[in-house]
Structure 1
C-alpha cells in the first residue's frame, strides 16, 4: 500500500482555482522578465492565434472546454506558460460598428463572457494570455469583406471620433470587466499594423502611419488608466526604423496621451525574409538599443534552414533548431519567445505545437522557476493578490509597484497568403508533448523540494474536506489520490489550503 506524506508548501488566502478575481498588483516589464501578478516570468509559449478567425468574440458563445483542451492544456503539458490570442482581428463581427460612419456602437453579447471563460481556464492551468485586439487584416481583403466593410474599417482607423467611440462603447466596458484578470499577459493593440501603412504595407488598403501611432497610443493609455496590466503591440520586424517608431516619447506625442506608451515590445521574425543582420536569434536584445524589454512574438514553430521544411528565402543563412531558438531567447536578454502557431494552415512549412513542444519542454526542464506561473517568488507574498496560488519559493524577488525605469517577417504577399490559408484551419495539431506531461507528475523543481515542510497528520489533511490533486506544473489530475509515486499538489477546495504531498 502506497503512503501519502502531506507537506504544506504555502497557504493561499482564498480559493486558487475558483472564480478568478481581478488582481490588485501592478504588472511591469523589467530587464528580461515580465512581472505578472507579482511573479517574474520568462514567456515561453505559442500563438494560438484564433480558434475561429475573428469570431472568438462576438454574439456566439465560445466552447470553453474545447478551447481549453485544444490550446491551453496542451501548452501547459508541453511546459509552456503563454499563448497569444487574436480577438476583434478584422472586425468582421466585433465590435459592432455603424457601416456608413465607422463609429463603434457596442460589442457582442458574449464578447466579455468569452474572454473571461478563456482567461479563467488559463489561470487554472498557469497560462498567461496576450490579448491581441486588432490586426492589419482590418484593411486586408481576402474575399471575406465587402467594399462597404473595407470603407467602414478605413473610417474607423482614420477618424479620431471613431476611436473615441471604440473606447467608450467597447474597450472601456471590456477593460472595466476583465482588464486586470491575473491571466492576462498584456493587452496588445495590433498585430503587425505596419502591414496597413502607406509607407511599406502590403494590405489591400492602406492608411498613414500617423493613424496607427495615434490609435496605439490611445489604446495603451486606456489600458494603463483602467487596469493593472501592460500594453504592447505586435511589430512586424527588427529593423531599427520600425522599432524606433514606438519609443515611449514618440507614442506619447502621437496620442497625444501621457499614458500612451508600450511596456515592452513584441516583435516578429520570419527568417526567410531577413539575414543575420535582422535576426533576433543572431543578436542579443541589447543589440537593438531600445528603451524597453523585447519579446519575440512570432517566429516559425519549427526548426529552419537546411534539412528542415523551412528553407525558403534567406532561412539557410540563420539555420537554427527550434530548441536552440528558445534557448537563445532565454540566454540573450529577451523577455520571452512565442512561436507561430497552433492553428497554422501551412504547418508543413511553419510547424505547429508538435514541432514546438520539445523546445518548450526543454526550456521548462532547465528553468522551471522562470516559467512556472504557479511558482511564487520568495518575497512576493505582499505583492500577489490574496487569491493567487503560491506553490514554491524562488530566489527572485519582485516589487508590487511599477519600476520607474520600466514605466514602461518582411512585407510580402507570401506571408499574407500563408496567413490567409491558415484561417481555413481552426483546429490545432495534436500535441506530441507526452514526455512533458508524463514526467511532470513525478518530477519537481529544486525550489519546490527546498521548501521547509510542515508535516500534517492524515486526519488533519482529509477530515471533512474535499481534495483536488494537481501535478507540479499545476495540471489538474482529479479528486482521486494518484497512484504513481511522486510529488503532487493537493488543494483543499473548502479551505483553499494548498499543500504538497509525496506518494510512495
Structure 2
C-alpha cells in the first residue's frame, strides 16, 4: 500500500478514536462530542477591528469586545462562534515584496493572541471556528490573497510558514472548534464557464449572483486553494474540523440542477490528485432572503438538510431575521435544529439586532433531541 494511503488510514483511525473523547467529532452527517450528538448554536463575531484583531499585539485592542460577546453567547445558551483572521492579508500573515509568506506576523505573537482568545472562549464554554480568508470583497490589499490563490509556490510558503505553525500551536486547545478556509469563495468565481467535468463547469451559477466581487478565478483555482490548505491543516492535526463558508447552497449540492464544487472528489482533483486529506469535515452554507424578503427556493431555511443529498454535517453559517424570509429568529433557529442541520450561526454581533439574535440561541438552549439536532448545552 502506498505511503499516502497508509497515512490517510492512520489519520482516519486517530479521528475515529476521538469521537467519544473530549473533542468535537463527526459520525455520518452529525457532530458528536463526549458520546452525544451535538448541535452548534451561536453567531458570527467576524471582527472587532476589521483584519486587525490578531497578531502584532492587536488583540489587546479587541479583547474586551471579544470577551464580552463570549459572555453574552454563554448567557443566551449558545456554544460556538465564527471569527475571521487574515481576511485579505491586511495585517497578517507576513508577506515579503514578492508576495511570499515569511511568518505569522511581524511581532511573532499571532498564535499567542489566538490562544488567549481560545482560553477565554473555553472559560465561557464556547467553541471557536477561525475563518482564515475572505472572498466576499475585493479591497486594496487583495493582491496578497490573489497571489496565494494563483501561485502554488506562494501558497506553499503560507502553509509552511504560517498555517501549520498556527495549527500546531492551537490544535490541543479545548476552545478550538475548527478552521474555515475562506468565506464565500463564490464572490470571486467566474460563473458561466463551460467544462466537460462537472467539478469545473460553472454554468449552473450563471445569473446566480456568484462573482459579485469580481470574476477573478476559475473554480478549479479556488478548489486547489482550499484543498492545499485543508491538507496542511489535517497533516498537522488529523482530527481538525475544516470547512468553507459557502455563500449559497447553489454551489454546495448536486441536487436541483447545481454542482457541489466543494465535495471531496472535486477538491482532491483540483489540487493535483495527491493531497487526499485536503477535504472538508463539514459543509457550511449561508442564506439570506432578497429585498422582497423571499428566499430563493433552495435556501436551507426552506428545506431539510437531507434534501441536499450531502454526506457530511451541514451548518447554516450565516443568516439573520432581517433577511429571514418572514421567519423570526426563534423560528430560524428551530428550523435549523429540527431540520437535520448540525449548527446555526447568526450574522452578526456587529449588527444592530444582536439582542434579537441572542433570543434565537435562547429558543433552543435546553434542547437535547438525539433524533433531531442533538445536545446544545455541552462542556468545552
Query: Offset at 1:163?
Result: 0.8
Within 5 Å, give how 1:452-471 maps onto structure 2: none
Name the CA distance, whole Å, in 2 between partners of 1:259 and 1:299.
Answer: 30
| Residue 326 (structure 2) aligns with | 319
Q: Is the 8 A contact 1:235 1:243 kept in 2?
A: no
Query: Offset at 1:259?
Result: 0.4
Q: Is structure 2 residue 341 aligned with structure 1 residue 334?
A: yes
Corresponding residue to 1:297 among 294, 317, 340: 317
TM-score normalised by length of structure 2? 0.80
For structure 1, list consecutive stretches of 5 or more residues without a partner in the other structure: 1-22, 305-309, 375-387, 389-504
| Residue 41 (structure 1) aligns with | 38
| Residue 194 (structure 1) aligns with | 186
Structure (1 or 2) with the larger CA radius of gyration: 1
Aligned residues: 326
Corresponding residue to 2:25 among 28, 39, 42: 28
| Residue 272 (structure 1) aligns with | 290
Relative to structure 1, the CA distance from residue 30 to residue 359 in structure 2 (aligned partners, 3 Å threshold; closer, same or farther) is same
| Residue 277 (structure 2) aligns with | 259
Within 5 Å, give how 1:156-235 maps onto structure 2: 156-199=148-191, 200-204=210-214, 206-227=216-237, 228-235=239-246
Query: Offset at 1:279?
Result: 1.6
Q: Is structure 2 residue 306 aligned with structure 1 residue 286?
A: yes
The superposition leaves residues 389-412 of structure 1 with CA deviations (integer Å, 9 ceiling, x where unpaired) of: xxxxxxxxxxxxxxxxxxxxxxxx
Relative to structure 1, the CA distance from residue 36 to residue 86 in structure 2 (aligned partners, 3 Å threshold; closer, same or farther) is farther
The superposition leaves residues 117-165 of structure 1 with CA deviations (integer Å, 9 ceiling, x where unpaired) of: 111111111101111111115x602xxx2xxx44343222200011100
TM-score normalised by length of structure 1? 0.61
Computed over aligned residues only, the root mean square deviation of the Cα atoms, in angstroms, reads 2.4
For structure 2, list consecutive stretches of 5 or more residues without a partner in the other structure: 1-19, 192-209
| Residue 52 (structure 1) aligns with | 49
Q: Which has the higher contact order (CA 8 A, sep 6+)?
A: 1
| Residue 123 (structure 1) aligns with | 122
Query: Offset at 1:327?
Result: 0.6
The superposition leaves residues 333-383 of structure 1 with CA deviations (integer Å, 9 ceiling, x where unpaired) of: 000100100013xx3xxx32x011122112013449711122xxxxxxxxx
Name the CA distance, whole Å, in 1 between partners of 2:95 and 2:309.
Answer: 40
Q: Is the 8 A contact 2:21 2:33 kept in 1?
A: no
